[in-house]
Amino acid sequence: MGSVKDLTVCAPAVKDRSGTGIFSFSDRYSVFDWGEMPDQIENKGASLCLVSAYFFERLQEKGIKTHYLGIIENGETKRLSELSGPSNSMKASLLRVIEPTVKNNEYDYSAYRLEGANFLIPLEIIYRRSLPEGSSVFKRLKEGGLKPEDLGLKDAPVPGTVLEKPFLDVSTKLEVSDRYIDWNTAKKIAGLDNQEIEDIKRITVYVSELITQETGRLGLNNEDGKIEIGFDENRRLTLVDVLGTLDECRFTFQGVPVSKEIARIYYRNTEWYRGVEEAKQRNKITWKEDFQVMPPKLPARLKELIGLLYCACANEITGREWFPNVPPLKEIVREAGEFI
């Protein structure tokens, strides 16, 4: 399916009916739209599966529609409370994925204006509660793609700025590199009406508040995160993919990143990263074909610490010790902070 998850299709989605499938969460990871990186993070896949299942189950209890059907253990579909141990397999309903075509070096989304239901909306919805160092917002402000007033601010922000209310951002989902767009463009390319845009924003804020509340118990600050949404057979908005995990959110603990942002920080100081950025500037669509230098591996201890972060968060967010003998989150963060 992609650089991080694999998909087994049990029943394919068709025009008027959702399918079913099993996500297998791997220990692979990706940064900067590169795809699979050279290292694997131990227990990362199972950790992501458990945390996402936890949030999906909480949302379903609140009446929010999701594609989550349960966790697979020994061939059976179960709720988290029924599992005897960690699992990296999640069963979910599937929607159609309609790929935009490329014409004259631009993406063509005209097919979406002909579709009524049962498809993935080709957008990533991002909530931003604060602006940590490394946030793409600062680059976009510098380049003129955003203005302080867009964020509800009078003056240019500095790293660490906390927003009075979440800034809801939107980007493309099915392009080679994610591209930030405004909400009018999002509405146009996905074939949405005004009410659907407002409903997507409302759901995003609700998800943001739930994740913030649950992770706040651990002392985590939910800086930003992303969700994906589709339409079911009746054109009802449905949360899809995964959410609330260390891959979908940017968490910090007393200012130290608790996510794969740690890996991003490490790679930003490499020649490989500079090569990636230069290739993207030359051509945002074909940059991967033009730049084929493999990234270096992570230092061994840093890779181990990132794995422990995933395990500790799964244990502490869900309130169950899935991974025994893992130090408390705050101890892992302390060493990781010194390392980076």
Consecutive 10-residue runs of the chain (340 residues): their mean pLDDT? 83 94 94 90 96 98 97 97 98 96 91 92 98 91 94 94 96 91 96 97 98 96 97 97 94 88 90 93 86 92 94 97 95 86
CB atoms under 10 Å from CB of 9, counted, come to 12
The sign of the torsion formed by the CA atoms of 59, 64, 67, 69 equals positive
Q: Give me 266's structure tokens.
A: 């490490």
Cα(183)–Cα(180) distance, integer angstroms: 10
Q: How far apart are CA 330 and CA 319, in angstroms?
A: 16
Residue with tokens 């697979």: 72
* 304 CB-side CA count, 13 A: 7
| Separation between Cα atoms, residue 76 and residue 90, nearest integer Å | 11
Element (H, E) at 105: none
Q: Which helix (H) or strand (E) holds 106?
A: strand 106-108
Cα separation, 154 vs 167, in Å, equals 14
Span 5-339: which CATH code? 3.30.470.20
Residue pair 101/129 in contact (Cβ under 8 Å)? The answer is: no
CA–CA separation, 96 and 337 (whole Å): 42
| Phi, psi of 299, deg, nearest 5 | -60, 145
Torsion of CA 115, 33, 143, 264, to 10 degrees: 140
| Dihedral Cα 239, 240, 245, 247, nearest 10 deg | -130
Q: Coil, helix or strand for 155?
A: coil
C-alpha separations of 142 from 90, 157, 185, 226, 268 in Å: 41, 11, 21, 23, 18
**Alpha-carbon distance 74 to 51, whole Å?**
20
At residue 87, what are phi and psi to the nearest 5 degrees?
-140, 150
Which distant-in-sequence residues (6+ apart) come within 8 Å of 260 by Cβ?
29, 31, 246, 247, 306
Q: How far apart are CA 168 and CA 78, in angstroms?
A: 34
Distance CA 147, CA 157 (A): 10
State the pLDDT at residue 340: 74
**Alpha-carbon distance 52 to 216, whole Å?**
16
6 touches 26 (CB < 8 A): yes
> Which pLDDT score, from 0 to 100, does residue 2 have?
65
